[in-house]
């Protein structure tokens, strides 16, 4: 096994039986690796979106469906296995294989990431603005002093402001 970057087409592709014997077979193998790399990126971002939806459902107090959890776990398993296989293929140090894997992942980002990014940006901006609005209203409502830095976390998770009691009020209780 060559432990340096090299060119060539007679390279093992994960299994001893998968060795391209001609340049045409090697090009087909690189095309399959391109598709697998794109699929890996697609799975990764799909799971990220699904986990965000799952967290929202839990924050609303709804239970998640067991079928949905099993599907997400299965997809995560496939994504991990695919990522590890791609890593092993990168470790062949074959320049053609490396470029096909890198181009597959980059192509997915170039084509589909703008759609995902716009959705994420709008959600982050809404969340950021809601946190700023809650912080501003809590400052107006709180005469006992400035709010703590964790106030937005409290309001986001609990949906209400924590009760502010002074030390004198606590002693009287």
Q: What is the pLDDT of residues 68-121, one digit of tens each?
A: 888 889 999 999 999 999 999 999 999 999 999 999 999 988 887 776 666 566
d(CA 68, CA 75): 11
pLDDT at 156: 54
Give the separation between CA 147 and CA 153, rounded to whole angstroms: 12
Domain residue limits, the chain: 23-158
pLDDT tens, residue by residue, 48-68: 888 888 888 878 878 778 888
Per-residue pLDDT, averaged over 22-47, amounts to 94
Count of other CB atoms within 10 angstroms of residue 45: 16
For 163, phi then psi, to 5°, come to -70, 135
Per-residue pLDDT tens over the stretch 136-163: 555 445 455 555 555 555 555 555 544 5
């Amino acid at each position: 096994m060559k432990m340096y970057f090299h060119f060539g087409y007679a390279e093992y592709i994960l299994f001893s039986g998968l060795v391209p014997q001609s340049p045409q077979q090697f090009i087909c193998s690189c095309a399959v690796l391109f598709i697998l790399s794109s699929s890996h990126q697609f799975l990764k971002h799909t799971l990220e979106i699904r986990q965000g939806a799952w967290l929202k459902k839990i924050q609303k107090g709804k239970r998640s469906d067991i079928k949905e959890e099993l599907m997400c776990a299965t997809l995560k398993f496939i994504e991990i296995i695919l990522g590890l296989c791609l890593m092993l293929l990168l470790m062949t140090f074959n320049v053609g294989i490396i470029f096909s894997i890198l181009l597959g992942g980059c192509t997915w980002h170039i084509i589909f990431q703008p759609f995902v990014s716009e959705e994420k940006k709008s959600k982050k901006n809404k969340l950021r603005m809601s946190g700023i609005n809650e912080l501003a209203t809590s400052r107006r409502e709180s005469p006992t002093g400035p709010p703590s830095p964790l106030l937005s976390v409290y309001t986001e998770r609990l949906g209400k402001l924590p009760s502010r009691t002074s030390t004198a009020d606590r002693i009287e209780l």
